[in-house]
Amino acid sequence: MRIPFVTVDVFTDRPFGGNPLAVILDARGLSDAQMQAIAREFNYSEQTFVLPPENPAHTARVRIFNPTAEMPFAGHPNVGTAYVLARAGTVLGQPVGDALVFEEGAGAVRAEVLRDGANVVGARIATPQPLDLGPEVPVAPLAACVGLPPDAFSAVAHPPRVASVGLTQVFAELPDLATLVAARPDPSAFAAAEAALPLGGAALLLHIWTRTGSGTVRARMFGPTIGVPEDPATGSAAGALGALLAARGEGTDLVIEQGIEMGRPSRIEVAVRGAAVTIAGPCVPVMEGVLTL
């Protein structure tokens, strides 16, 4: 089997920034095990596999894998896949317009292509679910996860807690940029915290953030138990954080910078309109090739 793929950097306007994504343009004939093995081979935080939709009115079924498991939803894979398919102009032999619908584990994900004139430059997606607030979580295990003292955490906007717009994550506010930069993930502490915290069986994906201005924050996300020591840009977390802050009356538009500590600066734009949450950003193409199985 010779299987074409494309890689793009998502939430950036230049190569080697943002979050890299590999898109398998036609995953028909691949088993679950093969998809997981391909995701491990690329070793990006996520990878997508494009399949025919169950509903012919939709664009495609999109399966998302991280290095260890399949995911029901993620932000940058949807933005990047919409960008790749729009640039190609077709998906599985069918034409692609500027409005796409992907079938995923968390529900239907609607995407809008962003253009500069005739050029495709990025995409905007709507999260498949509204904000779902889970329980608050204790500070101590989170502090151990990122090598910070418990009193280094802030609760001005919210105490640490579980939240989701399609993917369960834990959000914790930090008081300043210096504290955010000082965080150092400890994989063994993540494994212990994942077993102890009320995550409903989900992996511990820890999103820490701090304010950098009016309507802007800087963030980092760690998920070592799923093979992602640190993520350069986490669209699903950006959407949930934007919705969480909007629910507290702190504005409906948010810009999140991430990946700076990794040398992969990313910029994610979030808009909250009632229960609807959108995530947007630019993308750039990086590689094209063929997998041989």
**Residues marked as catalytic:** 46
**Nearest CA among 114, 12, 10 for reference residue 64:** 10
SS3 assignment for 183-217: CCCCHHHHHHHHHHCCCCCCCCCEEEEEEEECCEE
* Residue recorded with tokens 């292509």: 113
List phi, psi (to 5°) of 135.
-75, 155
Structure-token pair, residue 217 = 């924050």
Q: How many residues does the chain have?
A: 293
Residues in CB range of 49: below 8 A, 6 or more apart: 24, 27, 30, 35, 38, 62, 63, 64, 65
Three-state DSSP at 173 gives strand
